[in-house]
Amino acid sequence: MGQGSVNDALMPAAESHRPLALTPTEDIRGFLAFHLGRTFLFVITCTSVLAVFLIFLFVIKEAFPFLTEFSIVEFLTSAEWYPESENPRYGVLALLTGSAYVTIVALVFSVPVGVLAAVFLSDIVGLRIRSVVKPIVEILAAIPSVAYGFFAVMVLAPWMQTKLGFSTGTNALNASLVLAVMALPTIISVSEDSLSAVGRELREASYGLGATRFETIFKVLIPAAHSGIIAAVVLGMMRAIGETMVVWMASGNATQIPSPWWDLSQSVRTMTATIAGDMGETEKGSPHYRALFAVGMLLLIMTFCLNLVSEYFLTRAKRAGGKS
Amino acid sequence: MRTIIRGILNNVFTAVAGTSVVCLCMVLVAVLGPMIWRGGSAVFFKGTVEFRKMQLALFGRGNEAKIEAEQKRPEDARRFVYDAIEKFKGGIDTEALSDKARQIYRQFGSELRQTDMPGEEVAELRSITRDIRKRLEIAFASQNRDEINKALTYVNSFRDDSRFKNSSAEGLFQLAEEYATAIQGINLAERNEYRKELAEVEQILTRLLGPAPATPTPALMMDRFGATRWDQAQKLLNRLVWHEQWAQQEPNEPMVKMRTPRSQRFAGTELEGLFDIIEQQLPEMLAPKLTFYWRYFIDDSTPGHYFGGVGPEILGTLLLTVLAMLFVVPFGVISAAYLVECASDNLAVRTIRMCINTLAGVPSIVFGMFGLAFFVLFFLPIFGVPSKGCILAASLTLAVLTLPVMIRASEEAIRAVPQTYKEASLALGASGFRTFVTVTLPAALPGILTGVILSLSRVAGETAPVLFTGAVALGPMPKSIFDPTRTLSYGSYDMAVGDRLAAMVPHNQFGMVVTLVGLILCLNTLAIILRFRVSKKLAGQ
């Protein structure tokens, strides 16, 4: 069928005189229109590919001179980040541990709460409570990160300093707590989806065997939905690692590896905060600027890998959900 | 037995899971509560007469005659304070007194030059006045009462000299007399302490009541007015009435804040009672009135957001987001249409999907770096745009950032259109393209709109991508899209940590962030309502 035949509906009088078959011109026009249109749509759709390509290209391009000039091993293993000193040092280890630190602590808080809340929403309460709680989760997800950062600095930090007696209110714990709140909506919605995807049959079989709700959830549902829950955790982790404003505002920005390692009341500095804080002050094209792009590249590669992991688990979850 | 344990476990688990949801709600309240409460006070508060004065001077608002009439009573009430301080200063501020004496001496000298007195007499008078001046200076500087009295007696011995009558030299005697009364209630040894304390009191009073009458108008706008808000005034009053000091009480212990009433520090002087009176008379002096300052959302602000509102920030945010949406919506909808309608499961489509997911996972700060490296430094200069941050670069960056959100939302909306619609259209002989444009797209439009609004709210709150691509903390209104702009998101950051001036006006700090959150929540609510209606409509048919 070509495009041209649609017009015929507007001319009923001429209809009877037209042959049923299309003329060659009409046929070719229709064919071309169809395929050109499709190609056009395809090209537009490829914008996202182009965007990803350009992001990788330009970040790596800006970082490349740094990577060839300085030792990558030192970049990754040194904890000394003194880009503006006489003898500049670009060691990203302290920043890496800072990022890992706040992310892991944030996950320690948010994974149990998030998964429990997801279980609560999918299996324990009815539709009415769910329709109240869901918007709350959505609002938590909608609040912009700078507002969370503002909360961390203006409300949480003074509270920590006066009530908990920390020497500084902007520290690893503060940033982690707020990051935990920010990761919660992702964790809740993805794990709830995967829990709901586990069919009725499994639940009913379990209850039919006399299992309590607790046992059903822990022995049947969570094992069945584990791929989705892992994907949720990874997605939450990505959100926490890539978050900039909160850690920039709330983590204290001291380039150090906390010692002793469990002391959460110390300030740390993350990769994202370093980029955000330093980029405005560096000269374009200077080694410091390039080093920041190298940090950005590291960040990009890390999130890319995490993304692949989450994809893997999400597809597995989808397949498992489809089967049951 | 085991059944009981199992039952208990079950209930405990339910309780724990419930607690986590309660936690969630509490977190929401804890985050939004203080923001709304304190941010709301940027708009709804008790404004003092200073606020109305500021509005008149800054924005030309309000009735001039009315405000002037209103100012009368506060001014009367304040006069007493200024008089008391002026009087007290007479015994304290010795440098000013010496200056005054010197000035009178000089004036008298020039007067003498113009008279037709004989030369020797002029010389004698001049030496006497010089002597008087020196004695006065000694008296002003001294802490010994006997010494002062001696000096003053010496000065007063010339008082009845007819040659000084009706000349400016009489000022010197008056000065001596005033000084004698002023120092009666003052412990002279603590004069330096008093001076320091008084300087602090005067500084707080300037913040509270505005610059003292008969002083030159300050250069900075923020110094021209006193406390514009009643809560601010209360805080300043507290600082005025109570003296605070960090002191080491015990060695090796952290410093403790010590509070002493300020009247105690002026004990025995005329100022002792002043603070009580100010406390009582403050409503009189400032005339607080409930104010609904809705123009907060359109007003420009003075540096540091000391006065004024968030108008340019709102405008900048809207400009950025709307421009970004203009870029992203066509691409997003067409991509979604292709992915739903045309794409089969081949390698190219799988790559595209993977790229969309990757794009969604890229940290926002990396988008910022990309925007800087690509749009600001590479792409826009090709077209001759100077390579600095601008609205266009920022909105393009934001458009790339929100592309995956937009594609996913539109995809979902297009998928939600029932298959029967399409089949009916195809059965009538319409082509695939025509079916999509005339049937699927209109049916999916509300859903797509929801996606647009959600992306809009996401874009409005993003800070990291615009940090280096077009947001500034301070600056004029943008004239074109090639200028940088202020935004709500970057403004919130800057007011919270960057700006020292802003720390003095917490209501404006919270006002900025609550404007941002409010804008975003409004957009989200709109999206939720729209989605609800769409799902009802699609389910009903």
* Alpha carbon of B291: minimum distance to chain A alpha carbons (Å): 25
Arithmetic mean of pLDDT, A180-184: 92
Going by C-alpha positions, the residue among B501, B480, B481, B473 that lies closest to residue B310 is B473
Q: What are the b/e assignments for B474-509, b being 16+ CB within 10 Å?
A: eeeebeebebbbbbbbbbbbbbbbebeebeebbbbb
Question: What is the structure's pLDDT at A182?
Answer: 92
One domain, residues B90 and B53: no
Q: Among B17, B457, B513, select the one facing A147 at the smallest CB separation.
A: B513
Residues of A within 8 A of B20 (CB-CB) are: 112-114, 116-117, 120
Q: Is A284 part of the contact surface with chain B (CB cutoff 8 Å)?
A: yes
Q: Which residues pair with B258 in a beta bridge?
A: B245
Domain count, chain B: 4
One domain, residues B444 and B360: yes
Helices of type H across A243-286: 245-250, 271-279
Q: Among B352, B370, B430, select the one facing A46 at the smallest CB separation.
A: B352
**pLDDT (tens digit per residue) in B314-366:** 999 999 999 999 999 999 999 998 888 887 778 888 889 889 999 998 999 99
Q: Rounded CA gap, A130 and B136, in Å?
A: 85
**Considering Cα of A252, then A253, then A258, then A264, what sign does the dihedral take?**
positive
Residue B299 identity (one-letter amino acid): D
Give the CATH number, domain containing residue B366: 1.10.3720.10
Quickly state the pLDDT bin for B404 (edges 50, 70, 90): very high
Residues of B within 8 A of A253 (CB-CB) are: none
Q: B328 in a domain, yes or no? A: yes
CB B218 within 8 A of CB B136: no
Q: Among A38, A55, A145, select the one facing B362 at the smallest CB separation.
A: A55
Cβ–Cβ below 8 Å for A124 and B528: no
Q: How many CA atoms lie within 13 A of A87 on its CB side?
A: 1
Residue labelled with tokens 């994809």: A311
For residue A213, what is the nearest residue in chain B, using CA coordinates? B10
Quickly state the pLDDT bin for A1 (edges 50, 70, 90): very low
Helices of type H across B223-363: 230-241, 262-265, 274-286, 311-337, 347-361
Arithmetic mean of pLDDT, A24-40: 84
One domain, residues B340 and B201: no
Q: Is A195 part of the contact surface with chain B (CB cutoff 8 Å)?
A: no
Question: What is the structure's pLDDT at B221?
Answer: 77
Cβ–Cβ below 8 Å for A214 and B9: yes
**Considering Cα of B480, then B484, then B488, then B489, what sign does the dihedral take?**
positive
Going by C-alpha positions, the residue among B404, B336, B31, B471 that lies closest to residue A141 is B31
Q: State in words which class domain A92-323 has.
A: mainly alpha
- Write out the two tokens for B152: 């003053």
Question: What is the structure's pLDDT at A324?
Answer: 43
One domain, residues B384 and B258: no
Quickly list DSSP for A190-211: HHHHHHHHS-HHHHHHHHHTT-
What is the number of helices (H) and of strands (E) in chain A? 16, 2
* Alpha carbon of A198: minimum distance to chain B alpha carbons (Å): 19
Which three-class secondary structure state does DSSP give residue A81?
strand
**Residue B202 is part of which domain span?**
47-73+191-300
One domain, residues B352 and B496: yes
Cβ–Cβ below 8 Å for B6 and A212: yes
Q: B305 in a domain, yes or no? A: no
Q: Among A42, A114, A153, select the one facing B338 at the smallest CB separation.
A: A42
For residue B460, what is the nearest residue in chain A, using CA coordinates? A144
For residue A281, what is the nearest residue in chain B, using CA coordinates? B468
Q: How many CA atoms lie within 13 A of B74 on its CB side?
A: 23
Going by C-alpha positions, the residue among A81, A266, A96 that lies closest to residue A175 is A266
For residue B503, what is the nearest residue in chain A, using CA coordinates? A154
One domain, residues B69 and B154: no
Integer CA distances (angstroms), B323 to B314, B326, B398, B434, in order: 14, 5, 9, 29
One domain, residues B267 and B239: yes
- Write out the two tokens for A160: 């920590």
Q: Among A45, A145, A303, select the one facing B352 at the smallest CB separation.
A: A45
Arithmetic mean of pLDDT, B410-423: 89
Question: Which of residues B245, B265, B300 is at a domain's end?
Answer: B300
Q: What is the CA radius of gyration of chain B?
A: 36
Question: What is the structure's pLDDT at A2?
Answer: 42
Q: Parse chain A into domains and list their residue ranges.
A: 4-69, 92-323
Q: Would you say residue A57 has pLDDT above 90? A: yes
One domain, residues B223 and B283: yes
Q: Would you say residue A16 has pLDDT above 60? A: no
Cβ–Cβ below 8 Å for A303 and B362: yes
Question: What is the structure's pLDDT at B264?
Answer: 75
- Write out the two tokens for B293: 């300052």
Q: Rounded CA gap, B505 and B309, in Å?
A: 12
Cβ–Cβ below 8 Å for B433 and A37: yes
Arithmetic mean of pLDDT, B261-271: 74
Question: What is the structure's pLDDT at A131?
Answer: 85
Question: What is the structure's pLDDT at A17?
Answer: 63
Q: Which residues pair with B256 in a beta bridge?
A: B247
Question: What is the structure's pLDDT at A3?
Answer: 45
Phi, psi of B229 (to 5 degrees): -125, 150
Cβ–Cβ below 8 Å for B463 and A145: yes
Question: What is the structure's pLDDT at A146?
Answer: 92
Arithmetic mean of pLDDT, B474-484: 84
Integer CA distances (angstroms), B48 to B210, B274, B294, in order: 12, 21, 16
Q: Rounded CA gap, A226 and A217, in Å?
A: 11
Which three-class secondary structure state does DSSP give residue B354?
helix
**pLDDT (tens digit per residue) in B57-80:** 888 887 888 888 888 888 888 888
Q: B306 in a domain, yes or no? A: no
Cβ–Cβ below 8 Å for A133 and B24: yes
One domain, residues B142 and B281: no
Residue B42 identity (one-letter amino acid): A
Helices of type H across B210-301: 230-241, 262-265, 274-286
Arithmetic mean of pLDDT, A305-322: 83
Helices of type H across B144-252: 145-156, 170-182, 191-209, 230-241
For residue B378, what is the nearest residue in chain A, using CA coordinates? A58
Contacts of B114 (CB under 8 A, 6+ apart): none
Question: What is the structure's pLDDT at A4?
Answer: 45
Q: How many CB pairs under 8 A join A and B?
A: 259
CB B92 within 8 A of CB B191: yes
Name the maximum alpha-carbon separation found in chain A. 93
Q: Is A135 part of the contact surface with chain B (CB cutoff 8 Å)?
A: yes
Q: B274 in a domain, yes or no? A: yes
Quickly state the pLDDT bin for B399 (edges 50, 70, 90): very high
Task: Classify strands B289-292 and B44-47 as parallel, antiparallel or unpaired.
Answer: antiparallel
- Global pTM reads 0.84
Going by C-alpha positions, the residue among A64, A35, A48, A37 that lies closest to residue A296 is A64
pLDDT greater at residue B230 or residue A261? B230
Quickly state the pLDDT bin for A5 (edges 50, 70, 90): very low
One domain, residues B169 and B200: no
Q: Would you say residue B118 has pLDDT above 90? A: no
Residues of A within 8 A of B339 (CB-CB) are: 45
Q: Would you say residue B11 has pLDDT above 70? A: yes
**pLDDT (tens digit per residue) in A119-146:** 999 888 888 888 888 888 888 989 999 9
Q: B427 in a domain, yes or no? A: yes
Cβ–Cβ below 8 Å for B27 and A181: yes
Quickly state the pLDDT bin for B33 (edges 50, 70, 90): very high
Q: Is A307 part of the contact surface with chain B (CB cutoff 8 Å)?
A: yes
Arithmetic mean of pLDDT, A9-38: 72
Integer CA distances (angstroms), A64 to A60, A275, A295, B434, in order: 6, 17, 11, 49
* Alpha carbon of A103: minimum distance to chain B alpha carbons (Å): 14
One domain, residues B130 and B251: no
One domain, residues B460 and B397: yes
Q: Is A232 part of the contact surface with chain B (CB cutoff 8 Å)?
A: no
Q: Would you say residue A148 has pLDDT above 70? A: yes
Q: B504 in a domain, yes or no? A: yes
Q: Rounded CA gap, B524 and B90, in Å?
A: 64
Q: B168 in a domain, yes or no? A: yes
pLDDT greater at residue B186 or residue B491? B491
| Percent of all residues in chain A with a pLDDT value above 90, rounded to a whole number | 27
Q: What value does the mean pLDDT of chain B take? A: 83
Cβ–Cβ below 8 Å for A150 and B513: yes
Cβ–Cβ below 8 Å for A149 and B496: yes
Q: How many CA atoms lie within 13 A of B425 on its CB side?
A: 21
* Alpha carbon of B372: minimum distance to chain A alpha carbons (Å): 10
Q: Is A36 part of the contact surface with chain B (CB cutoff 8 Å)?
A: no
Q: B435 in a domain, yes or no? A: yes
